[in-house]
Amino acid sequence: MATPGNIVVGTHVWVEDPVLAWIDGEVVEIKGNEIHVRTIKGKMVVANVSKVFPKDTEAPPGGVDDMTRLSYLHEPGVLQNLAARYELNEIYTYTGNILIAVNPFQRLPHLYDTHMMGQYKGAGFGELSPHVFAVADVAYRAMINEGRSNSILVSGESGAGKTETTKMLMRYLAYLGGRSGIEGRTVEQQVLESNPVLEAFGNAKTVRNNNSSRFGKFVEIQFDKSGRISGAAIRTYLLERSRVCQINTPERNYHCFYLLCAAPQEVKDKYKLGNPQSFHYLNQSDCYELDGVDDSLEYLATIRAMDIVGISESEQEAIFRVVAAILHIGNIDFAKGEEIDSSVIKDEKSRFHLKTASELLMCDVQGLEDALIRRVMVTPEEIITRTLDPASAIVSRDGLAKTLYCRLFDWLVEKINVSIGQDPNSKSLIGVLDIYGFESFKCNSFEQFCINFTNEKLQQHFNQHVFKMEQEEYTKEEINWSYIEFIDNQDVLDLIEKKPGGIIALLDEACMFPRSTHETFAQKLYQTFKNNKRFLKPKLSRTDFTICHYAGEVAYQADHFLDKNKDYVVAEHQDLLSPSKCPFVAGLFPALPEETSKSSKFSSIGSRFKLQLQALMETLSSTEPHYIRCVKPNNTLKPSIFENMNVIQQLRCGGVLEAIRISCAGYPTRKTFYEFLHRFSVLSPEVLDGNSDDKVACQKILDKLGLKGYQIGKNKVFLRAGQMAELDARRSEVLGRAAKTIQRQIRTHIARKEFLRLRSAAINLQSFWRAELARKLYECMRQEAAAIKIQKNLRRYIARKSYKRLRYSAIMLQTGLRAMNARDAFRYRKQTKTAIIIQAKWKSHRDYVYYKNLKKATITYQCAWRQRLARRELRKLKMAARETGALKEAKDKLEKRVEELTWRLQLEKRLRIDLEEAKAQEISKLQDALHEMQQQVEEANSMIIKEREASRKAIEEAPPVIKETPVIVQDVEKISSLTAEVEHFKALLVSEQHTSDAAKKAAAEAQNRNVELLKKLEDANTKVDQLQDSSQRLEEKLSNLESENQVLRQQALTISPTGRSLSARSRTMIIPRTPENGNLFNGETKLALDMTPAVGNAKEPESEEKPQKSLNEKQQEYQDLLIRCITQDLGFSSGKPIAACLIYKCLLQWRSFEVERTTIFDRIIQNISSAVEGQDNNDILCYWLSNCSTLLLLLQRTLKASGAASLTPQRRRTPSSSLFGRMSHGLRASPQTTGLPFFNGRMVNGLDLRQVEAKYPALLFKQQLTAFLEKIYGMIRDNLKKEISPLLGLCIQAPRTSRASLVKGSRSQANAMAQQALIAHWRSIVKSLDSYLKALKANYVPPFLVRKVFIQTFSFINVQLFNSLLLRRECCSFSNGEYVKAGLAELEQWCYAATEEYAGSAWDELKHIRQAVGFLVIHQKPKKTLKEITNDLCPVLSIQQLYRISTMYWDDKYGTHSVSSEVISSMRVLMTEDSNNSVSSSFLLDDDSSIPFSVDDISKSMEQIDTSDVDPPPMIRENSGFSFLLQRAE
């Protein structure tokens, strides 16, 4: 509350408003106790100083998470904080440890998914954003740690979201302590699944809510010693009985009546039901349907819920019979009878409903009629039967209906409890109370009286809890609080429940007297409580009374109090329904004791409810309470609407403002030393100059200001009500004086700046005009020179243009003539060439079509013939498979087939070689003929030339003409002969040219055919290679399948007695090498050690076993020496792990991969397991990671799955026992592979890696080695995560600057110190990364695995930092973004220093936190559009994540705002669309802890390893049995 001393002109305050409840404005004038305020809407308001509250102008625009942190803890401050947070979809807010939940009226799935549950699991209360999960987690942890039961009280008015909040609590408790459903459904599932049934029979539409719970529900969730849910129970309180018979517009009766009326037609026909309008209990209101709700579908959903709960079909049928009977009973009407005060059934319609009700209840029709209109009175002398008047009969009818419905509801609750099951051994429970809130309507009857009585009781419990929390806070801070008064409402409770003078006691007393009426009851109240300040009598009513509750005054109408409080056990009703033929109905009315069954017995609902409430309060008192207050923001039930008047009324009814009054009675304002100094250090700057600590500095400031009554605790300053406003007023004065000084200086600066600007402008103007005159003179001179130059150039241009025109015309004329000639010549040549081409194409096409048709026919015939042969062969194979010798024949045929194919291939190659040789010879002949023709042509040309020269010389040497005639004749003859000869040679030349052209064309065609044949030959070779590769792959697949079969057979043999007996035989034998099992190298005979014994002669002499035993002993010694050697740290040789290479070479030399049984693999695995189990030394883990990866790589490239030859000898199956086995054996037995040594050689990168056929132990060893590789990798990765995880919590939020930062001139130094403090945490992370990288590199771990470790680690850093940023509002600030950005720069430098070989794409894994931090530190956020944010700034972040950051952002450095309201609205629209489309809207990230690689990935990423140059250790080198290790590869 404000005082005249702390309100000055210019102060921002809150004043009352009839529409908005409170509105802020600025004080413009103060006249005594009257304050003139100009509101933000421009309206002038005059208010008393006691009705004005100061406003915190420095409050965050998005509100605070905990309202105890508000500078001014008063009604308008609380309302403004809730409104600001609701606008940002922050629906949860703390008030101390009380959670206020504002109903959003829309889906917010991202707040309740599994990711969010994981974040709140184990988190401290208040560490993350307010949430219902935090309350449930605190209750669960308190129950586990302290062993005490807890309760969560959820309250609020209809539509506030109590039921949904309860569901969320149940979900979270099931997440923490849910057990696996061994018997089917879990306890928590059954409790949640019971909600639809209880809602159908206990919920109804009210004025404020379409699905209002008309009963109180207390769910007890029971836990065992280990914290797992072991049982549950549901307790219900005060079902609203009167609603069954009486409703008002626009409310509805209970949902079940409407669901049954909307059931399928056959169901309605069965119960003789119709529309709801036809039933009296339903048509009293005009509302029959709910918007957006289909009652027919809800009926089916209720049936399914009953099935899930465990209600059988017969019980369901009986339940709906009772519901339908109640509707029919309501339609029974009465008329006056012939006698006085008697009644009869009114008409046939009423009699029809009477008959239908009796049929449904399976009782006598006449008995039902008598039970409704007659009463039996038992006196000592006689039994009197009297008839009721119509009004009393209606009361009897409604009483029967209410009794039926209440007992039905109680039966459902009991059935659900039986179905869920309770744990009698449970000693810990968490109770969730879903209770109706305070109600105050225009007409308040007995139900509202009971509801408000309940809330008064809960409010007393709530006040005690709040005061207790205040005491704990004061005790924790070690301040004196003994004189603080406690606000209590015990006087209201005494007014209601005190005996013998309470309202309930007086009501029970009035109900006991038959002549009591509501008027006499009201007069009794007026006389009894006329001096009670909590009880008021209205002036204009004789039956109304008003009670001053904690939430305000409520006027009650006592007209129906007596009727509603009476709960007679009517003997006629009991006698009617107890013997019902329906077992269900009879069970609802069990037989009463004989003395009570003869007359009606009065039972007080108020007293019964008081006892229930007393039991509930005892349960709550035995538990540790937690409070959730649900608030409905508007009465339209629509999102994004916050009605201040509605909310403030609910805060009053919910006791939140009462809790604030309790806080205000003590110390409502609590500031940490840092916050106090940061805000009020300007009042005494000299205090900060000393070296005193923050506590002493706060004390000095308060002493200087002369405040009294405050307290200084260990960490906070506690201020009394009004002292914060006084401090702010003093601060405003200091800041005002400083502002005036700043204004004076800035005005001086502005005036001088204006003078300098004018002087500079005058000088510039003078310079401009002088320059303008000079430019004009220069322009005149330039124009004259330009005119002369233009004339000269124009004349030159005209002359040149005339010349070019003439020249162009001549050229065009010449070009046209030449083009015409050329076109004529070209046209002639083109026509000739086109004709030739057409002829050639037509002939080619004709021949090609003939060839294709012929080829197609040939292929078709061949395919048909081959198909016929294949089918014939298949039939023969199938027939042969049924015979005893089929396997051998198939094998021989396949061998012959392969030999035939090989022979055909060789034959085809020889034919191709011969064809090539023939073609080469033909080409050479053609070339020789062409060469001869060319020589002939050249000779003919030379002869023609000679003849021409001779004729020319003859003409020149001819003598002068003397005799004209003879000479002419001779010359003509000679010329004609020469001409004929020339023509002859020309013809000869033309023919020779044609011949040469034909030869060239033939040569070209031959060359083309040769090229085509070469291509076909290459294609055939490639096909042959492909067939060979495919056959090899098939062989490998077959061998793998057979190896798997072998594993299964061995497992079967180890179980069977035969397998055990066979395994007991000797493990080592001398096996001579045969062509079947492979040839020996260099023809020598060697020992096969650790080989599975073949089935030999059982009568072998015992003398042959002695050398075998000595071999086994020696082999055992070698193995022991190897195991002892690898237990030591052998180190590395040229970057290769010695232990892995040693194991590989020994196993390969001993041929352990090829044996059926051996222990060496198990001993190696046990040695690795003992070395890494529970190991925290990263050097040892890295050492074995390097060895395992190297050994696995060698095995991957050496071992291949064994084929048919590796089958167990116990079974002695032949290799061709199956079709695939015969095929693989046939392929392996082809002529190309016969005679090869036992080990196949394969050159890979110049290294001879021998591939061996691995048996079952070797394959199992490889699998175990892979598992250990993944395990060691996971251990190293998890150790790194554990090491940096505590540091990440320190890195996400920048440390606050110390008090020294508040001293003038030391801010930059303090920021630098804070920067170094934050960087220190990041550098600790970098140090951890360096140490792991150093260990991995020192042990030569493959870079591929190193990259995977750091990529997953950086992904973990991204997830932790990003989730913490989204869940903690104090982290979403501008300065914090700068700090985190600086820390991320350290990680970027580390990635750059580690190089891409080891860091890989680790930096890219931080994309979420990088973009989020980048968004925090950008300037001018309001100018950014949604497209720019989503496409350019933060393309990786989802809309939910962007919305979360945008709404939580606050600028603590420059005071700037977040993105514009248009962008926020667009984000909301997109989020709504996503929620409607069922798109996951979780804004939290999930850490991936899977193994991100496979064996093939390792094999592909690692280079070949040459084990020949690895030196064995000394203890191995000295043993002669390991001499093979000393042999180096050439």
What are φ and ψ of residue 382, in 5° steps?
-155, 175
Structure tokens at 598: 């003869």
Q: What share of the chain is helix, strand, coil (3-state, %, to 5)?
A: 60, 10, 30
Does 1246 count as an annotated binding residue?
no
Catalytic residue among 163, 445, 1224, 1364: 163
Cα-based torsion angle of the residue sequence 875, 880, 882, 885 in order, rounded to the nearest 10 degrees: 180
Give burial (CB, 10 Å; 0-12/13-18/19+) of 617. Answer: middle
| CA nearest to 1433, candidates 1408, 1461, 1451 | 1408
Annotated catalytic residue 158: yes
1500: Cβ contacts below 8 Å, ≥ 6 apart: none
Catalytic residue among 437, 655, 666, 1203: 437
CA 1489 to chain centre: 15
Does 163 count as an annotated binding residue?
yes
Catalytic residue among 11, 155, 213, 1447: 213
Query: How does strand 716-719 pair with strand 669-672?
Result: antiparallel
Helices assigned H by DSSP within 378-444 = 390-420
Q: Note whether 1183 and 1129 are within 8 A (CB).
A: yes
Annotated catalytic residue 437: yes
| CA nearest to 1364, candidates 1315, 1312, 1429, 1413 | 1413
Q: Note whether 128 and 1501 are within 8 A (CB).
A: no
Query: How does strand 624-631 pair with strand 150-155?
Result: parallel
Give Rg (Cα) of the chain. Answer: 52
- Spatial distance between the Cα atoms of 1262 and 1196, rounded to a whole number of angstroms: 8
Q: What angle do CA 1484, 1487, 1492 make, to 5 degrees?
A: 145
CA 331 to chain centre: 55
Does 162 count as an annotated binding residue?
yes
Catalytic residue among 25, 63, 159, 654: 159
Annotated catalytic residue 741: no
Place of tokens 């050496």: 1198
CB atoms within 10 A of CB 1049: 17
Catalytic residue among 150, 195, 209, 1152: 209
Structure tokens at 107: 């889906």
Q: What angle do CA 745, 747, 748 make, to 5 degrees?
A: 65
Catalytic residue among 188, 193, 251, 439: 439
Does 552 count as an annotated binding residue?
no
Helices 348-361 and 313-330, packing angle to 10 deg: 160
| CA nearest to 692, candidates 1300, 1127, 1510 | 1300
DSSP 1295: P
Burial 1254-1270 (b: 16+ CB within 10 A, else e): bbbbbbbbbebbbebbb
Catalytic residue among 95, 150, 158, 604: 158
Q: Which amino acid is at 47?
A: A
CB atoms within 10 A of CB 554: 18
Burial 651-674 (b: 16+ CB within 10 A, else e): bbbbbbbbbbbbbbbbbbbbbbbb
* DSSP letter string, 170-202: HHHHHHHHPPP-SSSS-HHHHHHHTHHHHHHHH
641: Cβ contacts below 8 Å, ≥ 6 apart: 633, 634
Query: How does strand 150-155 pair with strand 44-48?
Result: unpaired
Annotated catalytic residue 159: yes
Does 77 count as an annotated binding residue?
no
Q: Note whether 688 and 680 are within 8 A (CB).
A: no
Annotated catalytic residue 285: no
Give burial (CB, 10 Å; 0-12/13-18/19+) of 67. Answer: buried
Catalytic residue among 71, 93, 206, 212: 212
- Spatial distance between the Cα atoms of 189 and 170, rounded to a whole number of angstroms: 9
Structure tokens at 783: 């124009």
Active site residues: 158-159, 163, 209, 212-213, 437, 439
Annotation: binding site: 156-163
Annotation: binding site for ATP: 156-163
